[in-house]
Amino acid sequence: MEQHKVLIVDFGSQYTQLIARRVRELGVYSEIHPCTTPVPVLAAMRPAAIILSGGPASVNVPHAPTIDPMVFALGVPVLGICYGMQLMAKLLGGAVEPSTDREYGRTELTIAAPIPLWQGIDEPRLTVWMSHGDTVLHTPPGFVATASTPAVAIAAMACPQRGLYAVQFHPEVAHTERGVDMLRNFLFEVAHLAPTWSMASFVEETIRQARERIGDAQVVCGLSGGIDSTVAAVLLSRAIGKRLHCIFVDNGLLRAGEREEVIGYLQRHFDLNLHCIQAQEVFLSRLAGVEDPEQKRKIIGHTFIEVFEAEARRIDGVRFLAQGTLYPDVIESVSFKGPSAVIKSHHNVGGLPETMALELVEPLRELFKDEVRKVAQELGLPDALIWRHPFPGPGLAIRIIGEVTRERLEILRQADRIVQHELSAAGWYTKVWQGFAVLLPLKTVGVMGDERTYEHVVAVRVVDSLDAMTADWTRLPSEILARISTRIINEVQGVNRVVYDISSKPPSTIEWE
Ligand code: XMP
């Protein structure tokens, strides 16, 4: 059988996932494995090529992550990137020393030798992205220097006869000119792969792996209605059918119509094994009188775990907890991929695996958000679900400033529904990152007819963002803002004033809390 798999050996770089993503975008299947994986195990996976990632360490410090040099003798092309290059140099007999001139960020690369990695790249100089403190001073025997920068003579090296290539810079980051072409050359000119991989094969492969790992055990999965947990659930249900138990907790803090839209839809179209838990009472009673946002989050988090766990314990033979964790949720530490990776607490049902001794299944943990959307399309999920705005786990509770009561929830739901509706009607819903209403804990004076009123203020927040790390307020056309405001004031009883939030993140956040 032809071999189509690229193994990426992770030495802890923040860009390892990006390498995997670029390889996927080029149509080749790739897997990331920690650098502690023994080389015979890597070899048994029959890779067509191996990429050694960057990493934060220096190859010369004691206990620096390393790899058995046998990896260079497997007869498989190897590309070393940054730390991967230094390791290749050191292990094969070159010399690596701390640089006198450290290079971080952009620098100019001059290509020095015609090798397959540079095929089709004619520019005499390229801007590339560097991030390193060490430099290769001498190439190993049999290697030639293939590029330089103003600060380092050996910014890339190769031994084409053995299929060994290395670059000191990061071809995977967008700031590196022709970086994608270099990776393409490695895959197609050096390793002679064919671009046959697609999201369809990701779905197939994920289902196969899940079946293999889960066996005949039962799996629980928290379904929030957001795209990540929905895609994870639909994928896994394809793998193990009704042995996937999707638990949807109605915490009373959902948007208007949310339960019907999302859960009803999934029930009708995907035949999921759904456990719908009505827990509004317990959540709302515990939130009574609580104003502090952190306190609210804690109460909601704990109550969620309690309700979820109670339901999970009712199911016999549960061994796994499935989650829609994405790559950006996995905070990259120097630790390598594996159980030690830290996960943002608000994105998972933290606590459960420990108390119930469940193993985690995270079919999406290698993917970025836009890739999950592609998987969703592949699975046949509807656009309305694929493009839904992010909605926080603690729901409307963090959009009601101050105490959460049924009356305030109802006001916010109605106002929020109008925001959603008007954004969609004007064709702006899919253009923005997120849009919603917030209920403020104050009343102001107004007039309606001849009467003086004293009622709530609603803030409207609409932001543009790429990843929620930074965001800017959306410059919505004033007619849309006008419609939103008029409708909220006319239709939502108890509101007489609407304001638009014009703060960016940072220093503000997206949610008000
Ligand atoms: P902030 O307010 O920190 O929000 O700028 C960044 C993004 O995260 C979402 N968010 C949450 N998502 N659970 C979630 O699943 C939460 O507790 C939570 N808090 C904020 C927020 O909606 C925005 O998209």
Residue range 164-176, pLDDT digits in tens: 999 999 999 988 9
Distance between terminal CA atoms of the chain?
56
Level-2 CATH architecture, domain 5-190: 3-Layer(aba) Sandwich (3.40)
**C-alpha atoms less than 13 angstroms from C-alpha of 493 in its C-beta half-sphere:** 2
CB of residue 505 inside a 6 A radius of ligand 1: yes
DSSP-derived pairing of the beta strands 49-52 and 5-10: parallel
Query: With 60 as the cut, is the pLDDT of residue 339 above it?
Result: no
**Which whole number is the average pLDDT over 350-370?**
81
- Would you say the C-alpha torsion 207, 211, 214, 216 has a positive or negative sign? positive
Residue 321 Cα, ligand 1 centroid: separation in angstroms?
A: 22
pLDDT confidence band for 215 (50 / 70 / 90): very high
294 CA from centroid of ligand 1 (Å): 13
For 498-508, b where at least 16 C-beta lie within 10 A, e where not — what string? Answer: beebeeebeee
Tens digit of each residue's pLDDT (9 = 90 or more) over 482-503: 999 999 999 999 999 999 999 9
Q: Residue 310 contacts by C-beta under 8 Å, 6 or more apart in sequence?
A: none
* Nearest-10 Cα torsion for 288, 291, 297, 298: -70
Q: Distance between CA atoms of 246 and 242, rounded to whole angstroms?
A: 9
Instruction: Quote the pLDDT of residue 468.
Output: 80
Q: What's residue 174's pLDDT?
A: 87
Residues 269-325: pLDDT tens digits? 888 999 999 999 999 999 999 999 999 999 999 999 999 999 999 999 999 999 998
For the chain, what are the domain ranges? 5-190, 199-386, 405-500
Q: Which atom in ligand 1 lies closest to the alpha carbon of residue 297?
A: 17
Q: What is the residue with the minimal CA distance to atom 18 of ligand 1?
A: 392
Burial tier of 354 (Cβ tally within 10 Å: 0-12, 13-18, 19+): exposed
Confidence of residue 263 (pLDDT cuts 50, 70, 90): confident
pLDDT at 335 over 90: no
31 Cβ below 6 A of ligand 1: no
- Using the predicted structure, report yes or no on whether residue 331 has a pLDDT greater than 90: no
Ligand 1 atom, smallest distance to 393 CA: 13
**Residue indicated by tokens 């759904």:** 274
Given the DSSP bridges, would you call strands 125-138 and 49-52 parallel, antiparallel or unpaired?
unpaired
Conformational region of residue 418, where left means phi above 0, alpha means psi within -120 to 50, and beta covers everything else: alpha
What CATH code would you report for 199-386? 3.40.50.620
Q: 405-500: same fold as 199-386?
A: no
Percentage of the chain beyond pLDDT 70 is 94
Question: Regarding predicted confidence, which is higher, 28 or 267?
Answer: 28
The per-residue pLDDT for 328 is 66
Is a pLDDT exceeding 80 seen at residue 347? no
pLDDT score of 342: 38
Distance (Å) of CA 392 to CA 107, 346, 436: 40, 9, 11
The finding on whether 509 has its CB within 6 A of some atom of ligand 1 is yes
**Would you state the pLDDT for residue 366?**
81
Main-chain dihedrals φ then ψ at residue 82, nearest 5 degrees = 55, -110
Q: How confident is the model at residue 336 (pLDDT cuts 50, 70, 90)?
A: very low
Are the C-beta atoms of 391 and 255 separated by less than 8 Å? Answer: yes
Ligand 1 geometric centre to CA of 226 (Å): 12
- Out of 203-207, 209-213, 331-335, 369-373, pick the least confident: 331-335
Q: How far is the CA of 32 from the centre of ligand 1 (A)?
A: 28
Ligand 1 atom 7: the closest Cα is on which residue? Answer: 468
Task: Tell me, using a 6 A CB cutoff, whether residue 435 lines ligand 1.
Answer: no
What amino acid positions are annotated as catalytic residues?
82, 170, 172
- Does the beta carbon of 392 sit less than 6 angstroms from any atom of ligand 1? yes
pLDDT digits (tens, 9 = 90+) for 432-470: 999 999 999 999 999 988 889 999 999 999 999 877 878
Backbone dihedral angles phi then psi of residue 239, each to the nearest 5 degrees: -80, -45
Q: Which of 223, 344, 511 to mutate to test the pocket of ligand 1 (most atoms within 8 A of CB)?
A: 511
- Please report the pLDDT score of residue 351 as a whole number: 62
Cα separation, 121 vs 113, whole angstroms: 12
* Model confidence pLDDT, tens digit, residues 76-86: 999 999 999 99
Q: Name beta bridge partners: 492.
A: none
Position 370 confidence tier, pLDDT thresholds 50, 70, 90: confident
Whether 349 shows a pLDDT value over 60: the answer reads: no
346, 433, 436: which to mutate for ligand 1, most atoms within 8 A of CB? 346
DSSP for 149-200, please give it.
-SS-S-SEEEEGGGTEEEESS-TTSTTSTTHHHHHHIIIIIIS-------HH
Task: Give the residues across from 145 on adjacent strands.
Answer: 157
Per-residue pLDDT at 329: 65
| 343 Cβ below 6 A of ligand 1 | no
Q: What is the pLDDT of residue 350?
A: 56
CATH number of 405-500: 3.30.300.10
- The pLDDT tens digits for 454-463 are 999 999 999 9
- Going from the Cα of 392 to the center of ligand 1, the distance in angstroms, rounded, reads 5
Q: How far is the CA of 400 from the centre of ligand 1 (A)?
A: 14
Tell me the pLDDT band of 332, cut-offs 50, 70 and 90: very low
State the pLDDT confidence band at 348, using cuts at 50, 70 and 90.
very low
Using pLDDT thresholds of 50, 70 and 90, give the confidence band for residue 369: confident
- Judge whether 387 and 377 are in contact, CB under 8 Å: no
CA separation (Å) from 74 to 8, 162, 353, 398? 15, 10, 39, 55
* Residue to probe by mutation, ligand 1, list 369, 465, 510, most atoms within 8 Å of CB: 510
